[in-house]
Amino acid sequence: MSQPILDISDLSVKVGGSHILQGVTFAVQPQGVTALLGRNGVGKTTTLKAVLGLMPRAAEITGRVGFDGAAITRQPTFRLVRQGLGYVPEDRGVFAGLTVAENLRLAERAGTAPDYDTVHGLFPELRKRARQRAGTLSGGQQQMLAIGRVLLNPNRLLLIDEPTKGLAPKVVTEVAAALEAVAAVVPMLLVEQNLAVVRRMARHAVVIANGRVAYTGAAGDLLDYTEKTKALLGVGKGDHA
């Protein structure tokens, strides 16, 4: 088996009096989508933020994070981004008072040519609405903008948090199709509650429960086993986690 692109070992995170992650260990393969699953509040977003160095200064973090074979634990976020870690946060994080074009322009990275062809090819709506303020976009359009900003620059791994949350079914399909096309080129660690999207996109799955990894393996093996899916996620295989 090829070397993982991301290797998390014994990762523990304490914030205040809460021990959120308690020795989380898993790997992300260098191809395809690895889905990070679990009930609400188990630490999925915390895992992504700990990898990216986005936890509060007061957080206590132990363990090791390796990226393409090199330790990146506690490296500053800007260095990780320069190394090719792309992140789309759960709240999308668009600048509401700026236009679509301005949001994209802010994401351009010095020394690299921005890939507007890919962004506009996946999300033609962003070209049409270039002069529109991001705060007036629909939720789905804002999600497209959040993903588009990351895709302007070359990435070696994408970390994407709840990309279909709160979207209408038609938009969920559009966003999932775009991410599926991206994942054919760039590996992805995907936090996603919609198990139909997970089934469509993910080869591998990791489930966090009670601060620890409760399952790691093929996504299909998890989702096809209804009792296991219900036990770990509290839902049936066709529902939302």
Work out the mean pLDDT of the chain and round it to a whole number.
93
Mean pLDDT of the region 58-66 = 96
pLDDT > 90 in the chain, percent: 87
pLDDT, tens digit (0-9, with 9 covering 90-100), for 68-112 = 999 999 899 999 999 999 999 998 999 999 999 999 999 998 888
Band (229; pLDDT cuts 50, 70, 90): confident
Which pLDDT belongs to residue 141? 97
pLDDT score, position 241: 47
Structural domains in the chain, sorted by start:
6-84+155-233 (3.40.50.300), 96-148 (no CATH)
Mean pLDDT of 134-159: 97
pLDDT of residue 234: 73
Confidence of residue 151 (pLDDT cuts 50, 70, 90): very high
- Is the pLDDT confidence value at 239 over 60? no
3-state DSSP of the chain: CCCCCEEEEEEEEEECCEEEEEEEEEEECCCCEEEEECCCCCCHHHHHHHHHCCCCCCCEEEEEEEECCEECCCCCHHHHHHCCEEEECCCCCCCCCCEHHHHHHHHCCCCCCCCHHHHHHHCHHHHHCCCCEHHHCCHHHHHHHHHHHHHCCCCCEEEEECCCCCCCHHHHHHHHHHHHHHHCCCCEEEECCEHHHHHHHEEEEEEEECCEEEEEEEHHHHHCCHHHHHHHHCCCCCCEC
